[in-house]
Structure 1
């Protein structure tokens, strides 16, 4: 028989009351976020707007438009001191996403979803592409496709080479945004050639 006195009651979790929006609170909350995550100006604003909306829903005396104006001033302040720099953020993201094996099409989609302008993404991606291609004399899309092939263990990195596997590999590369020609070229590489190129680009 269970002794009811020995049972420890579960602590009921209560949702933390949102803070009122002040310039100081948004500044500190923004700094805390940027210490942990890199962000574009638009994405940062989106995150902070969530805090504003939650706070305004709880504190009915707050005026949302005034809170947003406070946030707009904070974004400009962070841009002026370099805490928010969309150009640097885009450069870092292009480098990171290319190394993960993302196609130009997927990079555009990812970065536009973070509120970055198409023209900025395109300019930085083209500059990266020109640098990479002049150094390694290979198509930047092909290099990215080989990086993805290594991650997905397809093509040169496949454990078995069958017709079904080749079709599956083509489908994976196509879904990742690579053209049919680039996908076919990547799958024709042998393991040693693919490794040599991947390791050179990583250095």
Structure 2
């Protein structure tokens, strides 16, 4: 296993996917482990090689946790993910907590003062629309499924007050 092979594997992965530093490290470690086992070698011997390859990708600008967090945050918000959900998903991808907090702060700062509080509201409405909850449910089923819809929004990480407001919206108020 050579540094050139590992670098090609990293470039191939980064051509296909946007990744955090930790995601790239995990992927390369998994590839090294698979190849080392096939060749009867010890994967621990290549740990430094993986670290060096990841460091080169970071220094070349191919991997940037802040850029990854910003783009992933925007994608998750459009899908209707709550702030808690965004934090959890980015943490699972290996993005450091301070980078996640900086991305969320930048998101709030980019909006005018009155709209910063509406981020979570817009995400909750998008989630409800995607899952057909509350006002997006058929009118004859809304009352019977109200508690279920509240629970779905709570599991998605939205506060009870916000979930109640979204579920109790009238179809005319959904702008």
TM-score (norm 2): 0.91
The structure 1 residue matched to 2:7, chosen from 19, 27, 43, is 27
Matched, 1:54 2:34: yes
Range moving further from structure 2, 185-194 or 23-32: 185-194
Shift of 1:102: 0.5
User: C-alpha deviations, 1:123-155, integer Å up to 9, x for none?
Assistant: 211221343463636521111100001101112
- Report the 3-state secondary structure (helix = DSSP H, G, I; strand = E; otherwise coil) of the residue aligned with 1:163: coil
The structure-2 alpha-carbon separation of the partners of 1:137 and 1:128, relative to structure 1 and needing over 3 Å to count, comes to closer
Q: RMSD value over aligned CA atoms?
A: 1.8
Greater relative contact order (Cα 8 A, min sep 6): structure 1 or 2? 2
Is residue 106 of structure 2 the alignment partner of residue 127 of structure 1? Answer: yes
Select which of 86, 93, 109 maps to 1:107.
86
Distance 2:117 2:89 in 1: 24
1:1-203 residue pairs with structure 2 within 5 A? Answer: 21-60=1-40, 62-132=41-111, 134=113, 136=115, 138-160=117-139, 161-194=141-174, 196=175
Query: 1:131 and 1:190 mapped to 2: Cα distance?
Result: 30
Q: Give yes or no for contact 2:135–2:142 (8 Å, CA) kept in 1.
A: no
TM-aligned CA deviation for residue 121 of structure 1: 0.5
Structure 1, unaligned stretches of length 5 or more?
1-20, 197-203
Name whichever structure is richer in helix by fraction: 2
* Counterpart Cα distance in 2 of 1:170 and 1:40: 33
Task: Quote the offset at 1:76 in angstroms.
Answer: 1.1
Q: TM-score, normalised by structure 1?
A: 0.79
Aligned length: 174
Question: Which range moved further: 96-105 or 121-130?
Answer: 121-130
Q: Helix, strand or coil for the counterpart of 2:18?
A: coil
- Structure 2 gap ranges (5+): none
How far does the alpha carbon of each residue in 1:168-187 deviate from its partner, in whole angstroms, 9 at most, with x for none? 11011001010101101212
Q: Single out whichever of 157-166 and 177-186 deviates more from structure 2.
A: 157-166
Q: CA deviation at 1:157?
A: 1.2
What's the CA shift string for 1:93-124, capped at 9, x where partnerless?
11000110001111111110111111211121
CA distance in 2, matches of 1:67, 1:29: 14
1:192 positional shift: 4.4
Identify if the C-alpha distance between structure 1 residues 142 and 82 changes in structure 2 by more than 3 Å, giving closer, same or farther: same
Q: Give secondary structure in 2 for the equivalent of 1:164.
A: coil
